[in-house]
């Protein structure tokens, strides 16, 4: 979408993993550490299909690529070992480039913001408690997770439910996944979604919002000509020009 065609947005919704915090690299490391014992590796092609899914559906998808694991390693055994490995590493997750400046800048400018993640509440706390400057900007009522009752089981990304629930947490009348009036559709178009994963982009587009896609270069290389309906593609969050969307200028700290 060219800059001159971009609408004026009024609220923003952020994904977490791989977008605000570098937890995706931890997922890859721990997953491949376990798989390597069985002669396997999670490639980016495989990983792209599980991004955005909650833990068990993502692991079921992962295991579907390695049928010879049957009888050697169960999903429960895999998750137990990986979760134990991840617990210590999640406490040290680094913010992604531009994340702190963008989140705090929007918050300080009075732009309503919400968090919409497929992580459960426990992992969310592990990944964010050491980054208070950024995550204090998201009140608990504006955080949607895999445990949130506002999102029914099985209705995670790429379905739009979590982004619609996040918008409602900001007081926006955006309807539901099944019902949307013209007025509610207009309210959806006032929102901007920041995502790194294709299922998340699909969910934001399905929600009728403006999606900013910030993919890992290896993910982008899988389909370099496909934007999946995103309004804009960035290499990192510090490339975001808030003024082009009718928002206050954001000052990004040089790293």
Catalytic residues: 15, 17
Strand partners, 13: 114, 193
Tell me if residue 148 falls in helix, strand or coil: coil
- CA 115 and chain centroid, separation: 8
Tell me if residue 92 falls in helix, strand or coil: coil
Strand partners, 26: none
Asked if the bond preceding 158 is cis, omega within 30° of 0, the reply is yes
Residues with Cβ within 8 Å of 59's Cβ and at least 6 positions away in sequence, in order, are 50, 75, 78, 79
- Angle (deg, nearest 10), helices 161-169 and 198-206: 60
Angle at CA of residue 99, ends 94 and 103, nearest 5° = 130
* Residue (of 189, 23, 255) closest to 118 by Cα position: 23
């Amino acid at each position: 979408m060219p800059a001159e065609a971009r609408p004026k947005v009024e609220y923003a919704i952020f994904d977490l993993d791989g977008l605000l915090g570098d937890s995706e690299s931890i997922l890859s490391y721990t997953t491949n550490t376990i798989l390597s014992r069985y002669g396997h590796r999670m490639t980016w092609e495989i990983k792209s299909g599980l991004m955005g899914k909650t833990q068990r559906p993502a692991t079921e998808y992962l295991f579907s690529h390695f049928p010879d694991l049957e009888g050697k390693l169960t999903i429960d055994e895999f998750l137990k070992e990986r979760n134990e490995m991840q617990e210590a590493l999640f406490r040290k997750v680094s913010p992604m480039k531009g994340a702190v400046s963008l989140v705090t800048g929007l918050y300080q400018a009075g732009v309503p913001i919400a968090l919409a993640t497929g992580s459960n509440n426990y992992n969310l706390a592990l990944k964010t408690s050491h980054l208070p400057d950024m995550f204090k900007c998201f009140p608990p009522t504006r955080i949607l997770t895999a445990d949130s009752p506002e999102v029914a089981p099985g209705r995670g990304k790429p379905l739009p439910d979590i982004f619609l629930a996040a918008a409602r947490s900001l007081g926006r009348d955006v309807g539901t996944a099944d019902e949307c009036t013209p007025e509610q559709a207009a309210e959806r178009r006032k929102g901007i979604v920041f995502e790194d994963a294709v299922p998340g982009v699909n969910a934001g587009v399905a929600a009728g919002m403006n999606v900013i896609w910030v993919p890992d270069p290896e993910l982008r290389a899988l389909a370099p000509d496909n934007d999946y309906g995103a309004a804009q593609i960035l290499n990192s969050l510090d490339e975001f020009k808030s003024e082009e969307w009718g928002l206050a200028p954001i000052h990004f700290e040089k790293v």
